[in-house]
């Protein structure tokens, strides 16, 4: 199937009007989320159109890569604190918003929706719509940008996006905490989350029973906090400097299976899910992110049914980021929300974009 590749928002609108079914495509780093219909590639809509470093905001076209944005922000010692995923693999701004997937930094600073302040998109009628603004204090109108986060292109094709950013920390320190078992790990995750240490990121690797945490701030303050943490779990804490490990996490390099699935959870579920993976006969691996609020599962096709049944048994829903399944991207027990149907009817009554 030949992919349409418009180079402006107006051309995107023309393509939408010309086809009964449309599916937007970015960097293809989350292939399971690409819907049915004529593929509309956004690789021609690139570039930062407005960057006000003094206001900590920027606007860029939807096909702009995360890597390009991060390089521009780095030059001004600024960054996107929610750690967008798959930057090194070519993820784009539009695809990042459409998937709603965030990295380790979500733990302290909030998710993508907390930084997404404005959008221009093409609706199901092929009309350009703008919502939100290019500055943080602009909050007029219905907050459509929030509905587009995780929408997977169901409501429209995003063409331009605006974000707020943060100043980069002066220094960062990374610590690993080895835990005797999953129950102890949950207790320690809760302790770190409620402490005055204010970790920027808090992850758990169940296969190694190891907590990873990242601290940011002035060097002297970090040294004191590290001493406290090392004293709290003497002999079980190691310190390492560098960002390679966090880059690997953002690229999900720990995941070796054909499927990669995101599951929203609560901290109380961590030991239960990790125990299930330990006893699973198939090649399933799990990673717990954002202080135990998100679980990622990696597995092969042979384990697909087992993971699906496990999620249904716990009344949880999983979103497939990578891996092809005839039943679509959802696994487990998915809950429907009437508001999404209402927004879909308002923005795409002709059902041009992928269905809910």
Task: Judge contact between 167 and 80, C-beta under 8 A.
Answer: no
Question: In the prediction, which pLDDT does 117 show?
Answer: 95
Dump pLDDT digits (tens) for 41-50.
Answer: 999 999 999 9
Cα–Cα nearest to 26, from 46, 54, 2: 46
Cα–Cα nearest to 217, from 268, 166, 173, 164: 173
Task: Judge contact between 21 and 352, C-beta under 8 A.
Answer: yes
Q: Which domains does the chain have, with CATH numbers?
A: 9-167 (3.30.465.10), 171-245 (3.30.70.260), 259-332 (3.30.70)
CA 175 – CA 186 distance, rounded (Å): 17
CA angle 256, 259, 263 (to 5 degrees): 110
Residues of the chain with pLDDT under 50: none
Question: In the prediction, which pLDDT does 172 show?
Answer: 92
Task: Judge contact between 312 and 332, C-beta under 8 A.
Answer: yes
Name the DSSP letter for residue 102.
-
The residues pairing with 58 across neighbouring beta strands, listed in sequence order, are 51, 163
Question: In the prediction, which pLDDT does 281 show?
Answer: 78
Question: In the prediction, which pLDDT does 143 show?
Answer: 80
Q: What is the distance of C-alpha 257 from the center of its chain?
A: 19
Q: Where are the beta strands (DSSP E) in 35-134?
A: 38-41, 48-52, 57-61, 78-79, 116-122, 128-132
Percent of the chain with pLDDT over 90: 85
144 torsion bin: left (phi>0), alpha (psi -120 to 50), beta (else): alpha
Question: What is the pTM for the complete model shown?
Answer: 0.93
Tokens of 81: 């604190």
- For residue 249, give the H/E element and its range: helix 244-250
Dmax (CA) of the chain: 65
């Amino acid at each position: 199937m030949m992919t349409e590749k418009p180079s402006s928002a107006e051309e995107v609108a023309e393509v939408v009007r010309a086809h009964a079914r449309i599916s937007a495509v970015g960097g293809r780093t989350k292939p399971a989320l690409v819907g049915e219909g004529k593929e509309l590639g956004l690789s021609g809509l690139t570039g930062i159109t407005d960057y006000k470093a003094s206001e900590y905001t920027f606007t860029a076209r939807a096909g702009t890569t995360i890597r390009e944005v991060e390089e521009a922000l780095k030059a001004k010692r600024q960054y996107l604190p929610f750690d967008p995923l798959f930057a090194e693999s070519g993820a784009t701004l539009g695809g990042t918003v459409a998937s709603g997937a965030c990295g380790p930094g979500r733990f302290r600073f909030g998710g993508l929706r907390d930084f997404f302040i404005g959008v221009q998109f093409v609706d199901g009628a092929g009309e350009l719509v703008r919502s939100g603004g290019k500055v943080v204090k602009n909050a007029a109108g219905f907050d459509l940008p929030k509905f587009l986060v995780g929408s997977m292109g169901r409501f429209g094709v995003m063409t331009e996006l605006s974000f707020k950013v943060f100043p980069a920390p002066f220094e960062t320190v990374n610590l690993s905490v080895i835990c005797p078992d999953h129950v102890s790990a949950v207790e320690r995750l809760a302790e770190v989350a409620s402490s005055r240490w204010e970790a920027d990121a808090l992850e758990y690797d169940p296969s190694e029973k190891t907590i990873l945490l990242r601290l940011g701030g002035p060097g002297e303050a970090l040294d004191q906090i590290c001493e406290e943490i090392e004293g709290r779990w003497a002999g079980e804490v190691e310190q390492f400097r560098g960002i390679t490990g966090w880059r690997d996490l953002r690229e999900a390099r720990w995941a070796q299976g054909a499927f990669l699935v995101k599951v929203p959870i609560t901290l109380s579920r961590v030991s239960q899910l990790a125990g299930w993976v330990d006893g699973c006969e198939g090649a399933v691996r799990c990673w717990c992110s954002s202080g135990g609020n998100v679980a990622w599962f990696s597995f092969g096709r042979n384990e697909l049914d087992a993971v699906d049944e496990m999620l249904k048994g716990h009344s949880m829903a999983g979103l497939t980021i990578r891996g092809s399944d005839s039943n679509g991207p959802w696994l487990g027990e998915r809950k429907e929300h009437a508001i999404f149907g209402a927004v879909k009817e308002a923005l795409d009554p002709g059902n041009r974009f992928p269905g809910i």
